[in-house]
Amino acid sequence: MKWTPGGRSSNLEDRRGSRIGGRTMGVGGSLIVLVLSLIFGTNLFDAVPGGSVVAPPASADAPVTASPEEERMVQFVSMVLDSTQTTWARLLPSLGRQYEDAKLVLFRDAVQSGCGTAPAAAGPFYCPLDQKVYVDLSFFDQLDSRFGAPGDFAQAYVLAHEIGHHVQHLLGIEQQVRQGSQQRPAQANQLSVLLELQADCFAGVWGNAAQRKGMLDPGDVEEGLGAAAAVGDDAIQRASTGSVHQESFTHGSSAQRAEWFRRGFQTGDPNSCDTFAGVS
């Protein structure tokens, strides 16, 4: 991507020097509870005995030490955050809602959010209860090494996807999905997939705006499509277990995720992102 390093977003909250402690649950259990907290819109960690994730004890706000490479990544994340939010501030009024900025929290190892305590292994996530995106920068190394999705636009896609969840919250879509999941638990996975695919499409809408502003380099679109496909449920399940179980999908297949990102990118129109059309 074409961008100029320097400066930090006013919506960036740096907690990389903080450490949290508490009762232990384990990464697998905490991931499940985090997903359920996001779906049902309540902090379910409080209802689970031993529901916190342990992180090494330290001072609450230790000085942040970072390499020049990491500081450059912080500046890149800041640029993408401001770019996506500027785009949605322009687009959202046409959908009947004024945009309100989200905050982006940087952390290391584990973090306390409004949706509970989450480990870095949970990956980047948006918490509707505090309207913040949470990111451990080490995820971007995993995006390349583990998921095979290198490149700065692949990283930007991830951030734009999470801001897409904020847009869904502002529009009331996330709340409707939460209510639908509570009323029809058997459809919770399907509704989760549709919510995630719409966030992919919203990421593509931002990508279209970035392209029109001349921010993209040759190959950036392919990086975004590759990242969307790399984090498909089928790709992740196949890599981790050797088999695919579609009934347990929560984010959509690789083909679906790439297709909805492409749709948003090609149209630049959030109205083209209605993944819920025809769902009763």
55-66: pLDDT as tens digits: 333 335 677 888
- CA-CA distance, 51 to 133, in Å (whole number)? 21
pLDDT at 268 over 70: yes
Structural domain boundaries of the chain? 12-273
Average pLDDT, the chain: 83
pTM of the prediction? 0.83
pLDDT, one tens digit per residue, over 146-198 is 788 778 999 999 999 999 999 999 999 999 999 998 998 988 988 999 999 99
What six digits make up the tokens of 226? 């590759």
DSSP result, 195-252: HHHHHHHHHHHHHHHHHHTT-PPTTHHHHHHHHHHHT-HHHHHHHHHSS--GGG-SS-
pLDDT in tens, 94-152: 999 999 999 999 999 999 999 999 999 889 999 999 999 999 999 988 888 878 877 89
CA–CA separation, 83 and 78 (whole Å): 8
Q: Are 189 and 250 in contact (CB under 8 A)?
A: yes
At residue 111, φ and ψ (nearest 5 deg) are -150, 150
- Specify the residue for token string 């809602």: 97
pLDDT at 52 over 90: no
CB-CB contact of 126 with 165 (8 Å): yes
